[in-house]
Amino acid sequence: MEISALLEQGRELITSFGFDALAAIVIFVVGRWVAKALAGLARKLMTRADVDVMLVRFVSSLVYFALLAFVVIAAVGRLGVQTASFVAVIGAAGLAIGLALQGSLANFASGVLLIIFRPYKVGDFVEAGGVSGTVEGVQVFSTIFKTGDNKRVIVPNAEITAGVITNYSANDTRRVDLVAGVGYDDDLDKVKQVLDDILSKDARILADPAPTIAVHELADSSVNLVVRPWVNTADYWDVYFDLTEQIKKRFDGEGISIPFPQRDVHVYQHST
CB 155 within 8 A of CB 128: yes
Which part of the chain is CATH 3.30.70.100? 173-267
Q: What is the pLDDT of residues 239-252, one digit of tens each?
A: 999 999 999 999 99
Pick the closest to residue 228 from 180, 184, 193, 172 (CA basis).
Answer: 180
CB 177 within 8 A of CB 240: no
CB 231 within 8 A of CB 174: yes
Note the CATH number of domain 2-100. Answer: 1.10.287.1260
Average pLDDT over residues 41-53: 74
The CATH architecture one would assign to domain 118-167 is: Roll (2.30)
Which part of the chain is CATH 2.30.30.60? 118-167
**84 or 194, which is more confident?**
194
Looking at every residue in the chain, the average pLDDT score rounds to: 81
User: In this structure, what are the phi and psi dihedrals at residue 28, rounded to the nearest 5 degrees?
Assistant: -65, -45
CA-only gyration radius of the chain, Å = 34
Contacts of 148 (CB under 8 A, 6+ apart): 132, 133, 271
- Structure pTM? 0.62
Q: What is the pLDDT of residues 86-98, one digit of tens each?
A: 666 666 666 665 5
The string of DSSP letters for 216-239 reads EEE-SS-EEEEEE-EEEGGGHHHH
Which part of the chain is CATH 1.10.287.1260? 2-100
Note the CATH number of domain 173-267. Answer: 3.30.70.100
**Pairs from 64-70 (Cβ < 8 Å, separation ≥ 24):** 64/35, 64/36, 64/38, 64/39, 67/31, 67/34, 67/35, 67/38, 67/39, 68/31, 68/32, 68/35, 70/31
**Local confidence band at 147 (pLDDT 50, 70, 90 cut-offs):** very high
Identity of the residue numbered 228: R
